[in-house]
Chains A and B, each alone.
Chain A
């Protein structure tokens, strides 16, 4: 993976998850969660803008954040499959968010030490937000896991269903991760510890590692991705060259 692809991947993860959460605005289980969800979506879209702008700068072909978000085809998106999994119900949304946040915060923390000051700067800013996201989603994993019998089963099933998408977070990159200054594999123990601790407090089992899904970072996505991009991209693509 080139530096451009690495930075694109950071931007695409934030963009796709932000897009997914933004679809939930106004439909949450309680008003406070509508506000939280919109706020987290806003943080992620903000993060995506920073990474995609930097990716455009690194590429040097004059592509803006919007060109990269709205005018790329699915095969050129570098996000992990986890973030494109459907919103489902509140347990599915929160399980996805927690598994992501526990990794995202650790990755950003590692990137704060990047030799590239642009990367370290963005990581430093976004890590503060990611800490809040993690505290919020872990809180819900615990509340639902340790709530009623129904919520426990829903959360356990959601974690099980999403587990096969967690392996991709730690795939070693051909071409080296030294480019951005964080090694995906080094983050794994911290992520694993966070997940084990939170699931234990939630009275939930950590699923067994079996076959892990992958491909998102190489542009091979799930069936959900095409519709997500169609919705997100259709206006800019319907009005080529228009400014908004």
Chain B
């Protein structure tokens, strides 16, 4: 998802009976549905895992501004330009809430950004794919934001208070983003032959990366089990993926687009769609840094940061000169 394969740093999930003292009381509170707040005691591994998860999420929002920002200057109508600007602005805002939520865990935004630029922190694999036509803006809103909502709605109930509360607001905005994306796709699908081709091509390129966003099947993962015990991951990757597929396939049919999966079938017995094999090699290579745009995305972020250094220095110098002055 926006946070994929988050390392919890644990080797094995301990049963409640094996925990003692503070750890036992902490787990009991989580099991009772009581939220953890910044001032509460928490295990160091919980804190570190949340920093990883929330900062990955924040980085994803900020890096995610780039592929969509690529089309603001070329949006084909003034209304679409305004809507896309508002959406990308929202993503910057999500990044800001999330960095602030991470900071409640005792880290600084600058350190988190340094880790991103140093290649030590991850962001969602999805933003390493290129936006080649206007229809990609529709596909991202519809599929990527659609997938994000499915992942993030449960996180509104996660155990860490500042993260859960940030998710409430983020989800409201993501829902608007998803609808504007689907609206773009609908318009294209009902448009000229060239527009329909553009829409189908975008769906062809974005479908599998969106399906992979939920991460690999996690049944066997110790990290997923630990995150589930801590209630910072509330459903398995496969459950969320299935929800996304079941929701999205009828939406594609409704506007006459074809999901690029020859094996896609409704399974009456399961009450879900079955899909063809997922190319996890592609996913892992994108996560490793070998996706189509990994280098460009990171270089763009670093370049903006480095080019802005003198601006930040100037603001700090000005503030220091006037510290203590009454406004």
A: residues with CB less than 8 A from B are 15, 19, 22-23, 25-35, 38-39, 41-42, 45-46, 48-49, 52, 65-66, 69-70, 89-90, 142-144, 146-148, 150-151, 154, 231-232, 234-236, 239, 241-244
Contact = CB atoms under 8 A, between A and B. Distances in A.
B310 A45 contact: no
Contacts of B314: 143-144, 147-148, 150-151
Nearest to B62: A31
Contact of A147 (B76, B82, B95, B317): B317
Contact of B73 (A22, A65, A89, A243): A22
Given A25-B88, A65-B78, A143-B318, 13 more contacts: A23-B72, A26-B92, A29-B309, A38-B85, A42-B89, A45-B81, A46-B82, A90-B308, A147-B317, A151-B313, A231-B73, A239-B76, A239-B195
A42 to B, nearest CB: 4
Given A32-B96, A34-B92, A38-B85, A148 B310 contact: yes
Given A29-B304, A41-B85, A148-B314, A34 B65 contact: yes
Contacts, number: 144
Nearest to A29: B308
B270 interface: no
Q: Which of A28, A29, A236 has the largest count of B CB atoms less than 10 A from its CB?
A: A29
A234 B82 CA distance: 17
11 contacts: A26-B65, A26-B300, A34-B65, A35-B93, A45-B82, A143-B319, A147-B314, A148-B310, A231-B74, A239-B76, A244-B187
A23 B309 CA distance: 20
B131 to A, nearest CB: 12
Nearest to B308: A29
**A-B pairs with the 3 shortest C-beta distances?**
A29-B308, A147-B314, A151-B314
B95 A142 contact: no
B134 A45 contact: no
B194 A239 contact: yes
Interface residues of B, number: 50
B192 A239 contact: yes
B297 to A, nearest CB: 10
Contacts of A144: 311, 314, 318
B138 to A, nearest CB: 10
Contacts of B321: 146
B17 interface: no
B80 interface: yes
Given A234-B74, A235-B134, A236-B76, A29 B312 contact: yes
B200 to A, nearest CB: 16
A231 B317 CA distance: 38
Nearest to A90: B311
B85 A25 contact: yes
A29 B302 CA distance: 10
B74 A242 contact: no
A52 B81 CA distance: 15
B99 A31 contact: yes
B292 interface: no
A236 B77 contact: yes
A167 B92 CA distance: 36
Q: Which of B62, B78, B82 has the largest count of A CB atoms less than 10 A from its CB?
A: B78
A113 B316 CA distance: 41
A178 B62 CA distance: 47
A31 B82 contact: no
B304 A42 contact: no
B92 A69 contact: no
Contacts of A39: 89
A243 B187 contact: yes
Contacts of A41: 72, 85
Given A25-B69, A146-B321, A151-B314, A35 B89 contact: yes
A49 B308 contact: no
B115 interface: no
Contacts of A29: 304-305, 307-309, 311-312
Q: Which of A39, A70, A147 has the largest count of B CB atoms less than 10 A from its CB?
A: A147
B86 interface: yes
B9 interface: no
B88 A26 contact: yes
Contacts of B300: 26-27
B198 to A, nearest CB: 9
A30 B311 contact: yes
Given A45-B82, A89-B307, A147-B314, A25 B96 contact: no
B192 A66 contact: no
Nearest to A142: B318
A143 B308 CA distance: 14
B234 to A, nearest CB: 28
Contacts of A151: 310-311, 313-314, 317
A30 B307 contact: no
Contacts of B319: 143
Given A29-B307, A90-B311, A22 B317 contact: no
